[in-house]
Amino acid sequence: MQYSGSRILIEGLIEQGVDTVFGYPGGAVLFIYDELYKQRDRIRHILVSHEQHAAHAADGYARSTGKVGVCIATSGPGATNLITGIATAGMDSVPLVAITGNVSTGLLGKDSFQEVDIAGISMPVVKHNWIVKKVDELAEVIREAFIVAQSGRPGPVLIDIPKDISALTAEWTPGKKSDRKKKAGPDDVFSARAKRLALRNERLTYTDEDIENAAKMLKEAKRPVLYAGGGVIIAGAGDELTQLAERLNAPVALSLMGIGAIPGDHKLCTGLIGMHGTVASNKAVQKADLLVAIGARFSDRVTSRADMFAKTAKILHLDIDAAEINKNIDTTASVVGDVKETLIKILDKLPSKVATEWNGEIEKWKTHMPTTYTAAAQSDGIRKTALHPRFVIEETAKKLGHDTIAVTDVGQHQIWAAQFFPARKPRSFLSSGGLGTMGFGMGAAEGAKVANPKRPVVLFTGDGCFRMNCAEMGTLKTYSIPVLIVVFDNSTLGMVRQWQNFFYEGRYSETDLPGHPDFVKLADAYGLSAYRATDRDSFLKVLDAASADIAAGKAALIDAKIDKDEKVFPMVPTGRPIDEQIL
């Protein structure tokens, strides 16, 4: 069948199981958008308010499902607007295919209108990218892109399609959807290169000796700690992580990306580790004789002062990415491979119970939780009823139910949500971890909701972040995407203010936000239901109303007024060991 490049692109996406793409049109992608119009009964397009939100929405779609997210932008500024979202996905190992238009092949490299070298710009933040200069190569590039995005450690890729390539025709031969768990078979219409990419997944990177050594270290440990990262969730290894913890009676500390890898209310889950980690997680790691890092990369937000991190422990590192071994922390031993697969093999080598010697220390440390409603605990009657982030998050979670997906932007509210949102299963807590992208939340929340129409989705955001992406309310309204938005409104950049308070003698340089809009009126202007809460009673009332809106299929916003000087605790000052916390 002779198809245009645009038709080949759409057929290729459908072949890969794509049902939704997020994007914004422009001159260089008009042929593609014309084909999207023709094929609109087979593939859905969500028009966002800004290309960055397209990337974040595709990211949220991918994080909440494990499938590849797809976004589209035009050439030049459209393509560059995707970069922050692509980098966000890259830092957190999210499978994403970004498609950009470009000027026609004959105009490439001539500083043509709306031309940039997007391949060169994106190279540091993608796993791979392609410039398609021959239309008969487009189908194989699409297949390769999905293999690369999903294989090994997942991540974003980019396909750049010049305008003339989207209009020229070539033969289209349907193939099978790529499967990163299986090597390419004889019926798959793949090029030799694509087959090599698929076969790469079958290559073992660990040995039987690695498995035996890991099991031996676990059997000998007296104070083991498991440190679980986002790789556990990506690999679908939550059950295996929980089994290992229970056999060892070992505490499980979670990175921000690892939240949900083990149920938050499990007796062995000690919560967040690192700069804003719990007392239990941080002390356990510093007292451990064996630290088992699983699908985690020893970020500086976890280790703080690396030379004082887990000094009494041997380090066993399980990860799919060999480049992470010994990158930030020197390890005693490692197993490189899919962590679900390697955990299963290690569990086979262990007895049903391994005796350890924690002797109640973990339970004692777990009582040191950031429970105080600091601003609300002051003596006068008005302050006693003031809103506290913990109250807001916990009550919202209760109202929406156990199946809720929580999405955050970046800042104080992000850490409060990490501490207090009861994530009981994987892919229920979505946040920009590695890049820390303010403005991530709205796009990611809409992507998560589109991908999970039967699950409640709540966005916890701050007023600073929300100002960056509030135009995306228009998308929620247009497509009837029922996301609940909870804005922690303290008229300041809260996390920056907290640092200025602790370490810059209270010089609040450019952190106050006196000019932000009335968010209730703004939401109303976009046609969303909107409510304001100033104390606990009013919050519970508006939460009931907003929940009714969500149940009716409409997005809603709650502007929750909190104290400007409410702080995130615990906190490890920069350059200090993680057990030296401000409580």
pLDDT score for 201: 53
- pLDDT-derived band at 514 (thresholds 50, 70, 90) equals confident
Question: In a 3-state reduction of DSSP, which class is residue 537?
Answer: helix
Mean pLDDT of the chain: 92
Q: Is residue 582 part of a domain?
A: no
Helices H / strands E in the chain, number of each: 25, 20
Considering the candidates 1, 38, 113, 123, report the single residue annotated as catalytic. 113
Contact between 123 and 181 under an 8 Å Cβ cutoff? The reply is no
- pLDDT-derived band at 185 (thresholds 50, 70, 90) equals very low
State the average pLDDT over residues 62-71.
Answer: 98
State the average pLDDT over residues 14-40.
Answer: 98
Encode pLDDT of 461-473 as tens digits. Answer: 999 999 999 999 9
pLDDT score for 183: 42
CA distances in angstroms from 316 to 235, 239, 329, 410, 433, listed in the order given: 18, 19, 11, 30, 23
Choose one of 145, 166, 200: the last residue of a domain: 200
Looking at the structure, do residues 57 and 193 belong to the same domain, yes or no?
Answer: yes
Is 51 an annotated catalytic residue?
yes
| pLDDT of residue 186 exceeding 90 | no
State the average pLDDT over residues 409-436.
Answer: 96
Looking at the structure, do residues 67 and 14 belong to the same domain, yes or no?
Answer: yes
Residues 6+ away with beta carbon under 8 Å from 582: 502, 569, 570, 571, 572, 573
Whichever domain contains 90, its CATH number is 3.40.50.970
pLDDT score for 212: 97
Looking at the structure, do residues 295 and 425 belong to the same domain, yes or no?
Answer: no
Looking at the structure, do residues 221 and 102 belong to the same domain, yes or no?
Answer: no
Q: Give every strand in the sheet of 96-102, ordered side by side.
A: 44-47, 20-23, 69-73, 96-102, 156-162, 128-131
pLDDT score for 362: 82
Q: Is residue 575 part of a domain?
A: no
Whole-angstrom distance, CA of residue 287 vs CA of residue 222: 11
DSSP string, 461-515: EEHHHHHHHGGGHHHHHHTT---EEEEEE-SB-HHHHHHHHHHSTT--TT-B-TT
pLDDT score for 177: 55
Calculate helix-pair angle for 51-65, 83-91, nearest 10 degrees: 20
pLDDT score for 363: 83
Looking at the structure, do residues 394 and 513 belong to the same domain, yes or no?
Answer: yes
- pLDDT-derived band at 190 (thresholds 50, 70, 90) equals low
Encode pLDDT of 41-57 as tens digits. Answer: 999 999 999 999 999 99
Is 460 an annotated catalytic residue?
no
Domain that holds residue 327: 208-366
Considering the candidates 39, 114, 183, 425, report the single residue annotated as catalytic. 114
pLDDT score for 198: 58
Q: Is residue 326 part of a domain?
A: yes
Whole-angstrom distance, CA of residue 276 vs CA of residue 178: 40
The structure tokens listed for 505 are: 């003698």
pLDDT score for 107: 80
Question: In a 3-state reduction of DSSP, which class is residue 402?
Answer: coil
Number of Cβ atoms within 10 Å of the Cβ of 81? 18
Encode pLDDT of 112-138 as tens digits. Answer: 899 999 999 999 999 999 999 999 999
Q: Is residue 177 part of a domain?
A: yes
CA distances in angstroms from 490 to 464, 518, 577, listed in the order given: 9, 12, 30
Q: Is residue 84 part of a domain?
A: yes
The structure tokens listed for 170 are: 């070539």
pLDDT score for 179: 46
Looking at the structure, do residues 104 and 190 belong to the same domain, yes or no?
Answer: yes
Q: Is residue 574 part of a domain?
A: no
Looking at the structure, do residues 72 and 95 belong to the same domain, yes or no?
Answer: yes
Considering the candidates 11, 51, 115, 140, report the single residue annotated as catalytic. 51
Residues 6+ away with beta carbon under 8 Å from 455: 403, 404, 405, 449
pLDDT score for 227: 98
Considering the candidates 11, 140, 146, 163, report the single residue annotated as catalytic. 163
Choose one of 200, 229, 244: the last residue of a domain: 200
For the chain, how many structural domains are there in total?
3
- pLDDT-derived band at 203 (thresholds 50, 70, 90) equals low
Q: What is the CA radius of gyration of the chain?
A: 24
- 10 Å CB burial of residue 339 (0-12, 13-18, 19+) is buried
| pLDDT of residue 168 exceeding 60 | yes
Looking at the structure, do residues 509 and 380 belong to the same domain, yes or no?
Answer: yes
Is 113 an annotated catalytic residue?
yes
Is 150 an annotated catalytic residue?
no
DSSP string, 281-308: HHHHHHH-SEEEEES----HHHHSSGGG
Looking at the structure, do residues 42 and 152 belong to the same domain, yes or no?
Answer: yes
Choose one of 311, 335, 366: the last residue of a domain: 366
Number of Cβ atoms within 10 Å of the Cβ of 337? 23
State the average pLDDT over residues 245-266.
Answer: 96
pLDDT score for 181: 42
| pLDDT of residue 555 exceeding 60 | yes
- pLDDT-derived band at 358 (thresholds 50, 70, 90) equals confident
pLDDT score for 361: 82
Contact between 457 and 407 under an 8 Å Cβ cutoff? The reply is yes
pLDDT score for 366: 78
| pLDDT of residue 233 exceeding 60 | yes
Q: Is residue 572 part of a domain?
A: no
Is 571 an annotated catalytic residue?
no
> CA nearest 131: which of 89, 95, 100, 167?
100
| pLDDT of residue 345 exceeding 80 | yes
- pLDDT-derived band at 192 (thresholds 50, 70, 90) equals low
Whichever domain contains 223, its CATH number is 3.40.50.1220
Q: Is residue 245 part of a domain?
A: yes
Considering the candidates 309, 495, 554, 571, report the single residue annotated as catalytic. 495
Encode pLDDT of 137-156 as tens digits. Answer: 999 999 999 999 999 999 99
pLDDT score for 516: 85
Looking at the structure, do residues 407 and 555 belong to the same domain, yes or no?
Answer: yes
| pLDDT of residue 373 exceeding 70 | no
Q: What angle do CA 411, 474, 481 make, to 5 degrees?
A: 85
Looking at the structure, do residues 357 and 450 belong to the same domain, yes or no?
Answer: no
Q: Specify the range with the lowest mean pLDDT, choosing from 169-173, 179-183, 399-403, 447-451.
A: 179-183
